A and B are shown apart, each in its own frame.
Chain A
Amino acid sequence: MSHRLPLCRVDRETHKAWLCQRLICEYNLCIKKMGEIEDSENRRMVFVTVGTTLFDALVRAVDTKEFKQELFRKGYTHLLIQMGRGFYTPTKSEAEDGSVAVDYFTFSSSIADHLRSASLVISHAGSGSIFETLRLGKPLIVVVNEDLMDNHQSELAEELAERKHLYCARPRTLHRTIADMDLASLLPYPAGDATPVAKLINRFLGFPDD
């Protein structure tokens, strides 16, 4: 009985100390989290994707000084390049005053995550990339590959640009597109619908409409 009281006191003391420590810890964590949130709010990333294609002309175009300056002027802080099968490797750089941070990779299974965290997407003219980006409601600039032989892909990009769902550019004119673009003027793309086709197929085969 005699030895219990001091022990209790010790317990209380350590508990107090532990509580204090925890409070400090949580406070620090809180500060850190707030900083992170602020960071992600200030972070405006431009994601460049060429899919599985070889499109060095685009990678080269986004690695030019004038293009990066234009991005910075528009308030973007980060440039992430998915370069696919390309041979030209862009130069990595950290964010400094007056320039954007540049990073690149070849392929990734989490392209969707990058698209989601981007503030602006610059993509090759493949229909998969185009519709994935439009469905996420991200502003999109499609760059047409002029080196392809049978270049029917520009048809889709130009049509969607005419309907104001995206901007269409060439590698050489990309920095001008960035300078002139007004993202507020882009219209959201309505989701596609396969039910008309399904209905027609059913009707042709003699199945009753439900």
Chain B
Amino acid sequence: MGSKDETCFAISIIIIIIGLIFIAIVRVIYVVYRTSKPLRPKSPKPLSTLIVLGSGGHTAEMINVLSALQKDRFMPRFYVAAATDNMSLQKARVLEDLLADTNGGKVVSAKFMQIYRSREVGQSYITSIGTTLIAIAHALWLMIKIRPKVILCNGPGTCIPLCVIAFLFKVVGIRWSSVFYVESIARVKRLSLSGLLLYKLCIADQFYVQWPQLQRKYPRAIYVGCLM
């Protein structure tokens, strides 16, 4: 009798686990399917926006994109840059100050934050595993605080943990955020590592490239011409 009860219990546990895994898989498939499908809101409201700044040329390209976006639709804005990069946030601050001036000194809701980088330029792939784990923990903390509806990024690695967490938030149902990735103008023939990851894993809702050769190689990408 006792052993029969135990086997019954074990079987039901296994069934529950299998059921949960099944639900999770179905949910992941649904999220992947829904990602890259345009949103159809009844009355579009301003969306909280997370802007991931790369460095140097990446930041310059992102600033160009931001200048073309309607600021009243994308607010509040959260800027995130690597902790080793002081210049990028400064450039974003200049942009926001400029906006505040044109708005007649009205306070714009913009926040500036720093994040640990998963991999420095030239760092070996093996040691980057450890640093990536730290970066993920920090990214999780930031994402829980911000829970953005829109994520704008254009590489390098800083955006990967944030985008993966955004995907998990979609699966769990914490927040549905749309991820836009613009591949750097420096990439003409091959995608960057971050770009390739977001493309292959279907994490980016819209994946933009700046050269027609790349679009031919990666058909789900959208060719938008040069930003610089």
Give the docked Cα–Cα distance between A159 and B210 (Å): 12
A127-B70 contact in complex given A203-B38, A206-B40, A208-B44, C-beta closer than 8 Å: no
Flag if B68 contacts A195 (CB, 8 Å): yes
B21 within 8 A of A: no
Kindly list chain A residues whose C-beta atoms are within 8 Å of the C-beta of B227.
192-194, 197
- Residue pairs across A and B with CB atoms within 8 Å: the count is 99
B87: min CB distance to chain A, Å: 10
Flag if B47 contacts A205 (CB, 8 Å): yes
A8 within 8 A of B: no
> Taking chain B's interface residues, is the majority helix, strand, or loop, or is none over half, making it mixed?
loop
Give the docked Cα–Cα distance between A126 and B59 (Å): 13
A166: min CB distance to chain B, Å: 13
> Taking chain A's interface residues, is the majority helix, strand, or loop, or is none over half, making it mixed?
helix
The residue from A52, A159, A197 contacting B188, defined by CB atoms under 8 A apart: A159
Give the residues from 176 to 228 in chain B that come closer than 8 angstroms, CB to CB, to chain A.
178, 180, 182, 184-190, 192, 205-206, 208, 211, 222, 224-228
A155 within 8 A of B: yes
Give the docked Cα–Cα distance between A1 and B184 (Å): 87
The residue from B56, B150, B222 contacting A200, defined by CB atoms under 8 A apart: B222
Most buried by A among B68, B150, B186: B186
The residue from B57, B64, B180, B188 contacting A126, defined by CB atoms under 8 A apart: B57
Kindly list chain B residues whose C-beta atoms are within 8 Å of the C-beta of A201.
69, 150, 152, 180, 206
B76: min CB distance to chain A, Å: 16
Give the docked Cα–Cα distance between A159 and B70 (Å): 32
Residues of B bordering A, CB below 8 Å:
38-41, 44, 47, 56-57, 60, 64-65, 67-70, 73, 122, 150, 152, 178, 180, 182, 184-190, 192, 205-206, 208, 211, 222, 224-228
Kindly list chain A residues whose C-beta atoms are within 8 Å of the C-beta of B186.
127, 152-153, 155-156
Chain A: which residue is nearest B73 at the CB level? A207
Flag if A193 contacts B226 (CB, 8 Å): yes
Q: C-beta contact mask, A183-201 vs B, less than 8 Å → 1, else 0? A: 0000000001111111011
Flag if B67 contacts A204 (CB, 8 Å): no
Chain B: which residue is nearest A127 at the CB level? B57
Flag if A197 contacts B44 (CB, 8 Å): no
Give the docked Cα–Cα distance between A198 and B222 (Å): 13
Kindly list chain B residues whose C-beta atoms are within 8 Å of the C-beta of A195.
68
Flag if A128 contacts B39 (CB, 8 Å): no
A5 within 8 A of B: no
A28 within 8 A of B: no
Flag if A155 contacts B188 (CB, 8 Å): yes
